[in-house]
Amino acid sequence: MKRKLNHIGTAAFLKLADDFEVIPLEIEEAAIAGQILGALARTGQKIGELDPFIAATAIHRSWPLVTNNTGHYRRIVNLGFPLELDNWRDV
């Protein structure tokens, strides 16, 4: 879906976004994301720029993070963050 969004333009994106619930980033999530980014940096690990914010939102709200990229997010779990991962392919 990422490639598709890169080519659809702002108006089309906003129309598509109407079909989804957008969860605002709050101070609590930003603080957790900062902790995740710091821990990753200290251990020399890198993940996508937005992934710490996605993980922080799931952690703060006590929601499982449903992804096919569990190995990628497992780095956050392995650093001690209470992130629950579910692979949507296993459901």
Q: CATH code at 45? A: 3.40.50.1010
Q: Is residue 78 part of a domain?
A: yes
> What are the tens digits of pLDDT across the range 1-21?
444 555 567 787 777 778 888
14-52 pLDDT, tens digit each: 777 788 888 889 999 999 999 999 999 999 998 888 999
- Asked whether residue 85 is domain-assigned, the answer is yes
Segment 62-77, tens digit of pLDDT: 999 999 988 889 999 9
Which residue segment(s) compose the domain that 63 sits in? 25-90
Q: Are 50 and 71 in contact (CB under 8 A)?
A: no
Triad 89, 9, 67: Cα angle to 5° = 15
- Cα dihedral 65, 68, 74, 76 sign: negative
Cα atoms in the 13 Å half-sphere on the side-chain side of 32: 24
- Domain count for the chain, please give it: 1
Q: Which of 44, 39, 36 is nearest to 60 (CA)?
A: 36
